[in-house]
Amino acid sequence: MSGTWLPPAQYLATLPKATVYGCLYVTDEADRPLQLRSVRNPAVWQWPGGNMDPGETPWECAVRECEEETGLHVAGEPRLLAVHFLPPLGNWSTHKVGFVFDGGRLSRELIDSIVLDPEEHTEVAVRSVEEWRTVMPAFSFRLLAVTAQARRTGVAAYLEQSGPA
Protein backbone atom coordinates (compact mmCIF):
# COMPACT_ATOMS: atom_id res chain seq x y z
CA MET A 1 0.00 0.00 0.00
CA SER A 2 1.08 3.52 -0.58
CA GLY A 3 1.07 6.10 2.16
CA THR A 4 -2.38 7.28 1.05
CA TRP A 5 -4.88 7.55 3.86
CA LEU A 6 -8.10 5.60 3.38
CA PRO A 7 -11.32 5.79 5.39
CA PRO A 8 -11.53 2.83 7.82
CA ALA A 9 -14.09 0.84 5.77
CA GLN A 10 -11.97 1.12 2.61
CA TYR A 11 -8.77 0.30 4.47
CA LEU A 12 -10.33 -2.77 6.11
CA ALA A 13 -11.40 -4.02 2.67
CA THR A 14 -7.71 -4.13 1.63
CA LEU A 15 -6.60 -6.35 4.54
CA PRO A 16 -6.22 -10.14 4.26
CA LYS A 17 -9.19 -12.12 5.59
CA ALA A 18 -8.84 -15.00 8.03
CA THR A 19 -10.92 -17.51 9.91
CA VAL A 20 -9.85 -18.38 13.43
CA TYR A 21 -10.24 -21.69 15.17
CA GLY A 22 -9.66 -22.86 18.71
CA CYS A 23 -9.07 -26.44 19.79
CA LEU A 24 -7.92 -28.50 22.74
CA TYR A 25 -4.97 -30.87 22.81
CA VAL A 26 -6.09 -33.59 25.20
CA THR A 27 -4.23 -36.71 26.30
CA ASP A 28 -4.79 -39.66 28.56
CA GLU A 29 -2.84 -39.92 31.80
CA ALA A 30 0.09 -41.51 29.91
CA ASP A 31 0.31 -38.41 27.62
CA ARG A 32 -1.09 -40.24 24.60
CA PRO A 33 -3.05 -37.76 22.43
CA LEU A 34 -6.80 -38.20 22.04
CA GLN A 35 -8.33 -37.45 18.65
CA LEU A 36 -11.73 -37.67 17.01
CA ARG A 37 -12.46 -39.18 13.57
CA SER A 38 -14.28 -36.77 11.25
CA VAL A 39 -17.65 -37.72 9.75
CA ARG A 40 -16.96 -35.64 6.62
CA ASN A 41 -13.65 -37.33 5.89
CA PRO A 42 -12.96 -40.56 7.81
CA ALA A 43 -9.23 -40.25 7.04
CA VAL A 44 -9.12 -37.07 9.16
CA TRP A 45 -8.39 -37.25 12.88
CA GLN A 46 -8.70 -34.01 14.82
CA TRP A 47 -8.84 -32.51 18.28
CA PRO A 48 -12.03 -31.15 19.79
CA GLY A 49 -12.40 -27.68 18.32
CA GLY A 50 -13.71 -25.57 15.50
CA ASN A 51 -14.14 -22.11 14.05
CA MET A 52 -14.91 -19.16 16.30
CA ASP A 53 -18.40 -17.77 16.47
CA PRO A 54 -18.91 -13.98 16.45
CA GLY A 55 -18.05 -12.46 19.82
CA GLU A 56 -15.98 -15.46 21.00
CA THR A 57 -12.33 -15.63 21.91
CA PRO A 58 -10.23 -18.58 20.69
CA TRP A 59 -10.29 -20.07 24.23
CA GLU A 60 -14.08 -19.73 24.53
CA CYS A 61 -14.39 -21.36 21.12
CA ALA A 62 -12.20 -24.32 22.10
CA VAL A 63 -14.15 -24.91 25.34
CA ARG A 64 -17.54 -24.62 23.59
CA GLU A 65 -16.55 -26.89 20.72
CA CYS A 66 -15.12 -29.50 23.09
CA GLU A 67 -18.36 -29.59 25.06
CA GLU A 68 -20.47 -29.78 21.88
CA GLU A 69 -18.33 -32.50 20.30
CA THR A 70 -17.55 -34.67 23.34
CA GLY A 71 -19.79 -33.67 26.23
CA LEU A 72 -16.70 -32.76 28.28
CA HIS A 73 -16.42 -29.35 29.95
CA VAL A 74 -12.92 -27.96 30.36
CA ALA A 75 -12.47 -25.36 33.08
CA GLY A 76 -9.54 -23.26 34.18
CA GLU A 77 -7.18 -20.78 32.67
CA PRO A 78 -6.14 -21.12 29.04
CA ARG A 79 -2.66 -22.49 28.41
CA LEU A 80 -1.58 -21.91 24.82
CA LEU A 81 0.46 -24.71 23.26
CA ALA A 82 0.59 -23.69 19.60
CA VAL A 83 -0.48 -21.17 17.00
CA HIS A 84 -1.09 -22.62 13.54
CA PHE A 85 -1.18 -20.53 10.36
CA LEU A 86 -2.47 -21.69 6.98
CA PRO A 87 -2.76 -19.58 3.81
CA PRO A 88 -5.81 -19.97 1.56
CA LEU A 89 -5.91 -23.57 0.30
CA GLY A 90 -8.11 -25.21 -2.32
CA ASN A 91 -11.66 -23.88 -2.12
CA TRP A 92 -10.91 -22.09 1.17
CA SER A 93 -10.37 -18.46 0.18
CA THR A 94 -9.14 -17.03 3.49
CA HIS A 95 -6.15 -17.51 5.73
CA LYS A 96 -6.77 -19.77 8.72
CA VAL A 97 -5.27 -19.14 12.15
CA GLY A 98 -5.58 -21.74 14.88
CA PHE A 99 -4.99 -21.59 18.60
CA VAL A 100 -4.23 -24.95 20.22
CA PHE A 101 -4.77 -24.97 23.98
CA ASP A 102 -3.88 -27.57 26.58
CA GLY A 103 -7.07 -29.44 27.42
CA GLY A 104 -5.39 -31.50 30.11
CA ARG A 105 -4.91 -35.16 30.88
CA LEU A 106 -8.04 -37.26 31.11
CA SER A 107 -8.61 -40.37 33.18
CA ARG A 108 -9.82 -43.53 31.49
CA GLU A 109 -13.22 -42.92 33.11
CA LEU A 110 -13.51 -39.45 31.54
CA ILE A 111 -12.43 -40.75 28.14
CA ASP A 112 -15.00 -43.54 28.39
CA SER A 113 -17.69 -40.96 29.26
CA ILE A 114 -17.21 -39.04 25.99
CA VAL A 115 -20.41 -38.75 23.98
CA LEU A 116 -19.64 -37.80 20.38
CA ASP A 117 -21.80 -35.52 18.27
CA PRO A 118 -22.72 -38.01 15.51
CA GLU A 119 -22.94 -35.21 12.95
CA GLU A 120 -19.26 -34.39 13.47
CA HIS A 121 -17.32 -37.45 14.66
CA THR A 122 -17.60 -41.23 14.55
CA GLU A 123 -14.83 -42.41 16.86
CA VAL A 124 -12.55 -41.46 19.74
CA ALA A 125 -9.02 -42.86 19.75
CA VAL A 126 -6.03 -42.55 22.05
CA ARG A 127 -2.62 -43.45 20.64
CA SER A 128 1.00 -42.61 21.27
CA VAL A 129 2.48 -39.84 19.14
CA GLU A 130 4.41 -42.43 17.13
CA GLU A 131 1.27 -44.51 16.58
CA TRP A 132 -0.54 -41.39 15.31
CA ARG A 133 2.28 -40.89 12.78
CA THR A 134 1.22 -44.13 11.05
CA VAL A 135 -2.42 -43.10 10.54
CA MET A 136 -2.13 -39.37 9.76
CA PRO A 137 -0.86 -37.50 6.71
CA ALA A 138 2.51 -35.83 7.33
CA PHE A 139 0.86 -32.41 6.96
CA SER A 140 -1.54 -33.09 9.86
CA PHE A 141 0.94 -35.04 11.94
CA ARG A 142 3.37 -32.11 11.98
CA LEU A 143 0.93 -30.03 14.07
CA LEU A 144 0.42 -32.95 16.47
CA ALA A 145 4.17 -33.41 16.88
CA VAL A 146 4.96 -29.74 17.57
CA THR A 147 2.03 -29.49 19.98
CA ALA A 148 3.14 -32.57 21.92
CA GLN A 149 6.62 -31.07 22.13
CA ALA A 150 5.22 -27.74 23.31
CA ARG A 151 3.40 -29.44 26.15
CA ARG A 152 6.55 -31.38 27.13
CA THR A 153 8.86 -28.34 27.05
CA GLY A 154 6.46 -25.63 28.21
CA VAL A 155 7.41 -23.53 25.16
CA ALA A 156 4.54 -22.63 22.83
CA ALA A 157 4.98 -23.53 19.17
CA TYR A 158 4.29 -21.50 16.04
CA LEU A 159 3.69 -23.47 12.87
CA GLU A 160 3.22 -22.11 9.36
CA GLN A 161 2.02 -24.57 6.79
CA SER A 162 1.66 -24.00 3.08
CA GLY A 163 -0.52 -27.02 2.46
CA PRO A 164 -0.51 -30.78 2.23
CA ALA A 165 2.78 -32.20 0.99
Q: For 9, phi and psi rounded to 5 degrees?
A: -60, -40
Q: Residue 109: is its pLDDT beyond 60?
A: yes
Q: With the CA atoms of 137, 139, 142 and 144 taken in that order, what torsion angle do they form, in degrees rounded to the nearest 10?
A: -60
Higher confidence at residue 116 or residue 3? 116
144-155 pLDDT tens trace = 999 999 999 999
CATH number of the domain at 23-127+135-160, please? 3.90.79.10
Q: Which amino acid is at 21?
A: Y
Distance CA(33)–CA(27), nearest Å, equals 4
Residue-wise over 90-111: b if at least 16 C-beta within 10 A, else e? Answer: eeeeeebbbbbbbbeebeeebb
pLDDT for 164:
59
pLDDT for 40:
93
Helix/strand/coil for 63: helix
Q: Residue 165: is its pLDDT beyond 50?
A: no
> What does the chain come to in residues?
165
% of the chain beyond a pLDDT of 90: 80
pLDDT for 163:
63
Q: Residue 122: is its pLDDT beyond 50?
A: yes
pTM over 0.85: yes
The lowest-confidence range among 16-30, 69-83, 88-102, 110-124 is 88-102
6-36 pLDDT tens trace = 999 999 888 888 999 999 999 999 999 999 9
Considering only CA atoms, which of 27, 21, 67 is closest in space to residue 147? 27
Classify the C-alpha dihedral 26-142-149-82 as positive or negative: negative
% of the chain beyond a pLDDT of 70: 97
